[in-house]
Amino acid sequence: MHSAGVMTRPLILLTGASGQLGFELAHLLRAHATITAADRAALDLSDADAIVSAVRSAKPDLIVNAGAFTAVDLAESQTEVAFAVNARAPGVLAEEAKRSGAMLIHYSTDYVFDGTSDTPYDETAATNPMSVYGASKLAGEEAVGSTNAQALIFRTSWVYGLRGKNFLLTIKRLAAERPELRIVDDQTGTPNWSRTLAHATAVVIARGLPYLAERTGLYHLSCTGATTWYEFARAIVARGAKMPSSNAPAPRVVPIATEDYPTPARRPAYAVLSTRKFTAVFGETLPDWREALAACLSSTSPVDTMSAQPRD
């Protein structure tokens, strides 16, 4: 990083570079660092030896682990691979970071909680995952922590974006196909545009690795406000004029109970994350989820400059 007192651009190894968060990170971080971007084809996170090889080859100053096994329901039947990617891989990355003196940023999830709270979860709240996905992500947090590597863990929730598989794209597709959408209305959380999360990450990385090294730990990184999947769907459909769809009228959005839409994995009924710690430490507050959604739906390209930025 330093040569004769001159700051040089850090080298970042980014995993999951083709995912909805990793893709945004790959573009935003290039302004602040030299990026080695590895997608699933280049780096299989279920292969511990491949991870070691990739890190030692790249020699990064910072590892940003945006890769994960995020198919929540599929994880119930593919437990081994879910734990390999979500639990073992972060631990291996942390071990390699510690060995080489690098730092690690790792992302986790609201699914580490059981959803029985009725107030936002802070970083000290007791974890109690109810699904294989949640358990694997919690194990990943613990694996990173056990290495004593210099690491920041960012928990977030309800991630969506303009690529990949997510709730936003599903609702946009179904709204063009069906007259009625039946959406769960008894699960509460905070939607997060992947670009909003990537931008907040880039903002803190831009302050330099010494700055990050003084602020290692667990943080909740999320937009503000809360909603249900039903209200989130209504907000998406309400902006139907922004969607490429048929000339048919907007579909009705009908609220249903979780029990009316059974899934292999249980979801937390309440998954709002308190971001007071992130704001206090980094001086950044992410926008309200509605503001981020509006920016996303009016965006024409995954690499547009984001209008709903974390506020300075």
Enzyme catalytic residues: 133
Tokens standing for 128?
């109690």
Spatial contact of 20 and 159, defined as CB atoms under 8 Å apart? yes
Instruction: Answer whether 155's CB lies under 8 Å from 219's CB.
Output: yes
Inter-residue contact 150 to 95 (CB < 8 Å): no
Residues with Cβ within 8 Å of 75's Cβ and at least 6 positions away in sequence, in order, are 69, 82, 131, 132, 133, 136, 265
Name the strand (E) or helix (H) holding 95.
helix 89-100
Token duo for residue 199: 């931008």
Q: Which of 269, 278, 283 is nearest to 311 (CA)?
A: 283
Which tokens in the block code for residue 289? 């989820």
CA-based torsion, 141, 143, 146, 151: positive or negative: negative
Rounded Cα distance between 184 and 177, Å, is 19
Nearest to 24 by CA among 145, 197, 187: 197
Task: Name the amino acid, one letter, at 63.
Answer: I
Contacts of 25 (CB under 8 A, 6+ apart): 14, 17, 64, 66, 198, 201, 202
Burial class (CB in 10 A: 0-12, 13-18, 19+), 301: exposed
DSSP string, 224-273: B--EEHHHHHHHHHHTGGGS---SSPPPEEEEE-GGGS--SS---SB-PB
